[in-house]
Amino acid sequence: MDRLTRPALPTTAAGAAAHGTVLEPGRPWPMGAHFDGSGVNFAVFSAHATKLELCLFDENGEHELQRLALPVQTGDVWHGRLPGAMPGLVYGLRAHGPWRPDRGHRFNPKKLLLDPWARAIVTPPGGFDPAGPHLGADREHPQHPDATDNGPLAHKARVVHDTPDWQGDRPPATPLLDSVVYEVHVRGFSKRLPGVPEAERGTYAGLASEAAIAHFKRLGITAVSLLPVLQILDEPRLREMGLVNYWGYNTLGFFCPDPRYAATAHPRQEFREMVRKLHAAGIEVLLDVVFNHTPEGDERGPTLSWRGLDNASYYRLPDQRQHYENWSGCGNTLDVRHPRVLQLVMDSLRHWVQDFHVDGFRFDLAPVLGRGSPFFERDGPFFKAVLQDPVLQGIKLIAEPWDLGPGGYQLGQFPRGWLEWNDRFRDTARAFWLGGDCTRGEFALRLAGSSDLFQARRRSPLESVNYVVSHDGFTLHDLVSYDLRHNEANGENNRDGHGHNLSWNCGWEGPTTDPAVLQLRARLKRALLATVLLAQGTPMLAAGDELGHSQGGNNNPYCQDNATTWIDWAAADQDLIDFTAHLLALRRRLLPLGAQWYSGLPDAQGLADLAWQRRTGEPMAPEHWDNRMSRILGAWIGQPGRGGAPLLLLVNGRAMDASFQLPPGDWVAELDTTAADGRSPWRRNGAASLMLGARSVMLLRDHAAAPQAAAGTPPARP
């Protein structure tokens, strides 16, 4: 038949039915729904189902038009091919099998299920109602399955087949040594950003707007780490209070950009365009991904997908198998030990790299991914799978190294090549500058790469992600403005969020007009930023900290999609932005501490690569490191990361100025955090010492001979 007179292939279930729908055997791979040019192949995993049905819907997902049993089971994959079907087809799944919660089985064909490999999700008209008939168990008699059909009210999948034009896009591939991570929320960053069209504010397009990219370039960051942008589902509890899951740690679609951040009806296309524009500006895109749990919660939660398809395979279940292991704090824990669950995770990662060109991932509660039975294993199946996968080579992998399971704190224990959020750095920096319990030795240890955590297994100091603030907790401004959390708006009577923040309000809780308090807060913010950006490791900033954004003391605004979390650009501290940009420019040019571990030993010329000294100019001795009262120290850096002249890093964490005896050299100030812009005209000019301002950091550069300071690094702490 001539192609010009060939009948049009059906794009909907009605069209497929009109063509006499019969499923062909198809094939058991790839998982999910895939268009092959003349039809769609469906492959669905379930090891314990007795029957799987493909349910075809109208284009809006309102009416179920046909059910077709997947005709073939190959191993644990059910599959079939729908000839004539086209992209745009809307479908769901129903799984038949035993209802035996005591054995971990919760099959209920009355519940329409979302394909775990769905690449686009159709939300029910009017939105998803968590109070609808989505429970697999009967509310009154939970030992029995619920008999109410939820098909019209459930999420469905839409067949996707897109061939994007990347216009020659190439990833920046920024070396780790040069990387500066900027953690940012898509909505919060541009919702109030001047220069962004109103329709694009708070969207993928807004994050890649000229105004946004101009700010990124002004700062000098190299990567944006996006809070979760995979499609999510709000928790019922939040919906009841009129709130939403703003942070997004509740993934429904592991292959779907969240449409709530799209300015158009085409989130996949808009997401790609965002990535392409950011890449063109030299900025990498990292995604925060959540593979530790699903929105189905515990046994009292809804049946959306995984629970109904094969509960006993997808989830980690305790001996009493009607319950769930809850190592995520969200009611359930995905069992990444299972080959098909591992495949789901790996397919998702590859999808975002191949189809969306992302440059890396930050893994929420990452120890879950490495848990055996039940403890963390750094050589577990997930890590081996990532290591050997050719698609994932060269991307950045960042772990949040703790979860709620047994032995959940795993900082420093991830495989080589993985970066880890270093909360020990965070807490030490806060304690040092804000009056907490901290020694000079602990501070120096964190400043010089946290060798106690990373060096023993031949890992790089760059694998420490250094930060003092992230999305989780106070902003930098609030860290120096509040002693207490103020989370009343979250609806939990101010019980949620961290109660121990190592913060200091500088003498007044919250906003003030007192110039002395404001000056002190500004100085502390600069000192904390300098600590992050001059330390050895990979620095991370939280969006808004460079301009003094406040959340009003809310240190857990996960449910606040409003002015609490949207960056207030009108109130931006331009001096602080300039200071941060100056710091990052210094880091690029001088890189005080590089990629190698410093030994403190002299080279052939008798010069140490790193030498620590007291304010008197004398070398630090072992008994000096444990002094909790003195917060003054200097680091002579004989081998800066960029090479060139030696550097002298001076730190004064005390409340008063301090005289610092200088080693020999023609020292010139590159940074002085007592100045609002960080710049200083200071030059030695023969002086024996300098006056180091209270609560400040100075960085000096020298072209003369090495000092006679003793070699040595601070002793490692257990």
Q: Count of CB atoms within 10 A of residue 495's CB?
A: 10
Helix (H) or strand (E) holding 447: helix 440-447
Helices (H), 570-685: 574-590, 622-625
- As a dihedral over the C-alpha atoms of residue 552, residue 409, residue 363, residue 286, rounded to 10 degrees, the angle is 60
Q: Which residues, 6+ apart, have CB-to-CB distance to 648 below 8 Å? A: 634, 635, 636, 637, 662, 663, 665, 667, 698, 699, 700, 701, 702
Structure tokens given for 62: 């309102």
Instruction: Give CA–CA dist 362/290, Å, rounded.
Output: 9
Instruction: Give CA–CA dist 601/608, Å, rounded.
Output: 5
Helix (H) or strand (E) holding 652: strand 647-652
Output the CA–CA distances (angstroms, integers) from residue 567 to 24, 176, 545, 687, 690, in the order listed. Answer: 53, 28, 10, 45, 39
3-class secondary structure per residue, 468-483: CCCCCCCCHHHHCCCC
Q: Count of CB atoms within 10 A of residue 198's CB?
A: 8
Helix (H) or strand (E) holding 14: helix 13-18
Q: Which residues, 6+ apart, have CB-to-CB distance to 217 below 8 Å? A: 281
Asked if residue 287 lies in contact with residue 254, where contact means CB atoms within 8 angstroms, the answer is no
Give the pairing type, strands 419-421 and 396-399: parallel
Asked if residue 418 lies in contact with residue 409, where contact means CB atoms within 8 angstroms, the answer is no
3-state secondary structure of 159: coil
Asked if residue 244 lies in contact with residue 565, where contact means CB atoms within 8 angstroms, the answer is no
As a whole number of Å, the end-to-end CA separation of the chain is 77
Asked if residue 146 lies in contact with residue 110, where contact means CB atoms within 8 angstroms, the answer is yes
Q: Supply φ then ψ for residue 282, to 5 degrees.
A: 80, 20
Instruction: Give CA–CA dist 261/282, Å, rounded.
Output: 22
Q: Count of CB atoms within 10 A of residue 50's CB?
A: 11
User: Distance of alpha carbon 539 from its chain centroid, rounded?
Assistant: 14
3-state secondary structure of 483: coil
Instruction: Give CA–CA dist 628/436, Å, rounded.
Output: 10
Active site residues: 364, 400
Asked if residue 692 lies in contact with residue 698, where contact means CB atoms within 8 angstroms, the answer is yes
Q: Count of CB atoms within 10 A of residue 4's CB?
A: 5
Reference 392, options 362, 361, 369; nearest CA is 361
Structure tokens given for 90: 């809307």
Asked if residue 382 lies in contact with residue 345, where contact means CB atoms within 8 angstroms, the answer is yes
Helices (H), 220-294: 236-240, 267-280
**369-395 burial code (b ≥16 CB/10 A, e <16):** bbbeeeebbeebbbbebbeeeeebeeb
Unique residue bearing structure tokens 């991307």: 395
Instruction: Give CA–CA dist 213/208, Å, rounded.
Output: 6
Instruction: Give CA–CA dist 480/452, Å, rounded.
Output: 29
Asked if residue 116 lies in contact with residue 74, where contact means CB atoms within 8 angstroms, the answer is no
Instruction: Give CA–CA dist 177/461, Å, rounded.
Output: 10
